[in-house]
Amino acid sequence: MSRKKGNNVDGILLLDKPLGRSSNSALQKVRYLFNAKKAGHTGSLDPLATGVLPICFGQASKVTSFLLDSDKRYRCTAQLGVTTTTGDKEGEELNKIKVTHFDQDDIEKVLANFRGEIEQIPPMHSALKHNGQPLYKLARQGIEIERKVRHVTIHQLTLIEFTKDSITLDVHCSKGTYIRTLAQDIGDALGFGAHLSMLRRTEVSPFDCSKLYTIDEIESLEKDNKLSQILLPIDSALLEFPAMILNQKDVSLIQNGIRVACDDMPESDKIRLYNEKEEFLGIGEYMKNESGKTLLKPKRLMNTQLI
């Protein structure tokens, strides 16, 4: 569905990825609707999952690495009493245990152990690679590889609701957190086992995710030639970093890859750079040379002819 040629589109779209569609399929559909030369997403969602999938068009692709490192928020449901080969409802049933009575206090005692920094073992059904091969492909061949424990942070873990055999949670977490694994581990801690039956990503930092766009909405806007109205500016992905406004001379130097001497500069490895018209130029970096002089170093610049 992707087009070899297209328009130069720059900006970020907050897509509401539909259920049952892969992230790449959703990306290609949106790219087609925008007739964009270049587009990419910032961290895939499984077909089972719905919710926020930032799509970066054109120059915005230069900030995708920063978004991969950002915190995320999810709403998920763990189905208790049944474990599966994949850790979610798409897998084959492994074990089935009768779910006996439990109450909110039982859940809260378990959840307390999963807040803060925790350890996770990445699932075999994941995109992590072993010798260049995604683990999920090995898993489909019945091959299991030893995976290293990783440390992730659960900033908030809140019980939303529960039934006699399921719990629904709100999870605010660091990058690299596997919600399937979290659901399984919580189910094990309750004594019943579990698999993930629902997953929706509700937030990707630092965006305001109160308004997402479905593919149907995008198709309607495309017919009315209003697609440009729903794109966020590139620097909306970088608002957590300090900003600097440069004069015309320094802009010219930075855009030519030359370090600029600056005394009043944030000590940060990521600084948003703007010209005097407050137009976004890219990312700079604080550094000191051998003599201790403070310099602004270009790190990731946009291809722009603003000056």
Q: Any idea which residues carry the catalytic annotation? A: 46
Which amino acid does the sequence have at 288? Answer: K
- Evaluate whether 297 touches 244 at the Cβ level (below 8 Å): no
The Cα–Cα gap between 39 and 3 comes to: 11
Tokens linked to 113: 């152990």
H-state helical runs in 143-214: 179-190
Return the half-sphere exposure (C-beta side, CA atoms, 13 A cut-off) of residue 283.
21
Calculate the alpha carbon distances from 86 to 47, 82, 94 in Å.
13, 12, 10
Closest CA to 243 of 277, 271, 280: 271
The Cα–Cα gap between 128 and 94 comes to: 23
Return the residue matching tokens 């992730």: 152
Sheet holding 280-288, edge to edge: 243-245, 271-274, 280-288, 294-301, 260-261
H-state helical runs in the chain: 23-34, 64-68, 104-111, 135-140, 179-190, 215-223, 248-255
The Cα–Cα gap between 198 and 185 comes to: 16
